Amino acid sequence: MPIAIIVEWYGPYTSLQDFKKEASAWGKGSRTLYMGISNGDAPSTSTINYIGLSTSPSSRFGGHPKMKDPINNTYYLGEIATAGLSGRRTRKTPTDLHIAEGALIYKLQPKLNVSRKSALPEDCVVIYSRFWDRNDGITPMPTPDFFPELIAYNWYTQSWS
């Protein structure tokens, strides 16, 4: 089933401790994506090292080896703002969260992600990302240079936009 997903990203968190503290306040049951980033000398040279998902961000990051990797020095938390797909789920993870993580990993090819880098989405997907100030959560921030505002995959033509 085709899907459009809006992700509200919060950050940047410049320490793993600040990131974990914010994640612990999100609580269980939220549909959360997260990223570990290496900041370069200029914003356009920053690279995405890891993208993951969680439905329990309050307890997810205690011993997460990929997020603790020393190449990460900036972090973002993302929350899916659109309604999920209706119907029976075939996996433990909410379908929209699983699809969003997979499409982002395939398209962006983060260094530390091992799986899902070669798995194309199984249907059409559009992911629109908005970024918000980490301090108040309501001030819009420009989309970082290293991240696409819109990712779209057309399953019929097997092409990305």
Q: Residue 43 has what pLDDT? A: 66
pLDDT tens-digit series, residues 133-144: 999 999 999 999
Q: Cα separation of 134 and 76, whole Å?
A: 9
pLDDT tens-digit series, residues 64-121: 889 989 999 999 999 999 987 666 666 678 889 999 999 999 999 999 999 999 999 9
Q: Residue 83 has what pLDDT? A: 82
pLDDT tens-digit series, residues 32-74: 999 999 987 766 789 999 999 998 887 777 678 899 899 999 9
Q: Would you tell me how many other CB atoms lie within 10 Å of the CB of residue 143?
A: 14
Choice between 56 and 13, residue whose per-residue pLDDT is larger = 13
Q: Residue 38 has what pLDDT? A: 95
Query: Could you tell me the residue ranges of all domains in the chain?
Result: 3-160
Rg of the chain over CA atoms, in angstroms?
15
| Listed residue (74, 59, 69, 63) closest to 11, CA to CA | 74
Residue in the block written with tokens 């969003």 = 100
Choice between 43 and 150, residue whose per-residue pLDDT is larger = 150
Is the per-residue pLDDT at 153 higher than 80?
A: yes
Q: Cα separation of 116 and 106, whole Å?
A: 6
Q: Residue 56 has what pLDDT? A: 85
Query: Is CATH 3.40.50.10420 the right assignment for the domain spanning 3-160?
Result: no
Q: Residue 90 has what pLDDT? A: 63
